Amino acid sequence: MKTPIFTDLVQTLPATVPFVGPETQERQMGHGFTARLGANESVFGPSPKVLKAIGNAASDIWMYGDPEAYELRNALAKHHNITMDNIIVGEGIDGLLGYLARLFISPGDAVVTSDGAYPTFNYHVQGFGGMLHKVPYCDDHEDPNGLIAMAAKTGAKLIYLANPDNPMGSWHNAQTLEKMIEKLPGGCLLILDEAYADCAPHDAVPPLDTSNPNVIRMRTFSKAYGLAGLRIGYAIGQADLIQSFNKIRNHFGVGRLPQAAALAALDDQAYLSDVISRISMSRIQISEIAKENGLIPLPSATNFVTIDCGKDGSFARAVVANLIKQGIFVRMPFVAPQDRCIRVSCGTADDMAAFAKALPIALQQI
């Protein structure tokens, strides 16, 4: 029997998992993690109002979610003081990045990102045959000027920049990003991934400008709002750009429960403020634990702290492996020289106690 034939492009691609999930590791180990500090989820969970909203909506899950996400887009528009036409809701930022790649990338098209930045973006670009051009980090920050220069050199259709950054936790101020936007080459779209904007200083987030067709801003309910398991995020952009998503998106991709949960989460800004305070306290704790063990915590505007282990990638990988052996799930940057670091998500007091106990043992075992 003749088997189905994949496209020529798919036949050239490796089967890739950008992030090995903690569940996979738990199955391999035969036991669960004591502290889940590697995926930048919010261990503080969602608002009680969100849980109530999910419960209220549970009996309606036999129905598809509203394909226009009308109520959520309306609430987001009021929250950001923009119009609904400037907002598209999708299956988390990852889902929206996939749609952007489908909208803009044909085989051979140039795309610019930072070497070591969020790898799922690369995964989507390569899946549509795009050619990635990577710019090194500069002092553990993504390099706006370097990204612009590479885009101009290659005729790139897309630039990806996360601010605040994952995996380093670093950030640029709004003025730096506004200058970058002014320098965008014609025909190039800047994807500004602001997944951690809720955790960032106010001066790190530029004012929203929905008139510029060359910038799209990505936001999520997966981090500070605590809804990572429901996969819901949104993008903000110029109306014609946002409307283009309707040409290719999965209109029923965001279910009824995620929409109800996101509405309730957005409505409880007091709870969000409390979570951000807990994140800030946890960042201080992680930094103190790192210093107590002779390591260097990097400044962070996210819900994690990246810790400089002071040596090379092999040493940092050994630290990660030894922490995992003790039931502490953490991750690390993939590309040198950032791979000298480990990355630890913010957690509860129990999580911090477990990490504080495990880290010196992990270092001693190397």
Indicate if 345 and 235 belong to the same structural domain: no
Q: Distance (Å, rounded) from C-alpha 184 to C-alpha 190?
A: 8
Sequence-separated (6 or more) residues with CB below 8 Å from residue 324: 25, 29, 33, 330
Q: Hey, what amino acid is at 16?
A: T
Q: What is the extent of the structural domain holding 192?
A: 49-268
Reading the chain (366 residues) residue by residue, the pLDDT tens digits are 888 999 999 999 998 887 889 999 999 999 999 999 999 999 999 999 999 999 999 999 999 999 999 999 999 999 999 999 999 999 999 999 999 999 999 999 999 999 999 999 999 999 999 999 999 999 999 999 999 999 999 999 999 999 999 999 999 999 999 999 999 999 999 999 999 999 999 999 999 999 999 999 999 999 999 999 999 999 999 999 999 999 999 999 999 999 999 999 999 999 999 999 999 999 999 999 999 999 999 999 999 999 999 999 999 999 999 999 999 999 999 999 999 999 999 999 999 999 999 999 999 999
Q: Distance (Å, rounded) from C-alpha 204 to C-alpha 206?
A: 7
pLDDT of residue 181: 98
Q: What is the DSSP string of 272-302?
A: HHHHHHHHHHHHHHHHHHHHHTT-EEPP-SS
Indicate if 28 and 125 belong to the same structural domain: no
Indicate if 29 and 173 belong to the same structural domain: no
For the chain, what is the domain count?
2
What is each CA distance from 29 to 349, 352, 364, in whole angstroms? 25, 22, 22
pLDDT of residue 18: 79
Indicate if 227 and 112 belong to the same structural domain: yes
Residue 2 lies in a domain: no
| Residue that is last in its domain, among 238, 253, 268 | 268
| Residue that is last in its domain, among 250, 268, 286 | 268
Indicate if 314 and 330 belong to the same structural domain: yes
How many Cβ atoms sit within 10 Å of the Cβ of residue 334? Answer: 15
DSSP state of 331: B
Q: What is the DSSP string of 61-88?
A: TTSPPPTT-HHHHHHHHHHHTS-GGGEE
Q: Is 188 exposed, middle or buried (0-12, 13-18, 19+ CB in 10 A)?
A: buried
The CATH number of whichever domain residue 249 belongs to comes to 3.40.640.10
CB neighbour burial string for 250-275, b if at least 16 within 10 angstroms, e if fewer: eeebbbbbbbbbbbbbbbbeebbeeb
Q: Distance (Å, rounded) from C-alpha 34 to C-alpha 15?
A: 30
Q: Where are the beta strands (DSSP E) in the chain?
A: 35-36, 87-90, 110-114, 131-135, 158-162, 189-193, 215-220, 233-237, 296-297, 304-308, 328-329, 341-345
Indicate if 220 and 302 belong to the same structural domain: no
pLDDT of residue 244: 98
Indicate if 321 and 218 belong to the same structural domain: no
Residue 1 lies in a domain: no
Indicate if 284 and 255 belong to the same structural domain: no
Indicate if 229 and 261 belong to the same structural domain: yes
pLDDT of residue 128: 97
Indicate if 248 and 289 belong to the same structural domain: no
Indicate if 215 and 301 belong to the same structural domain: no
Indicate if 22 and 35 belong to the same structural domain: yes
DSSP state of 156: -
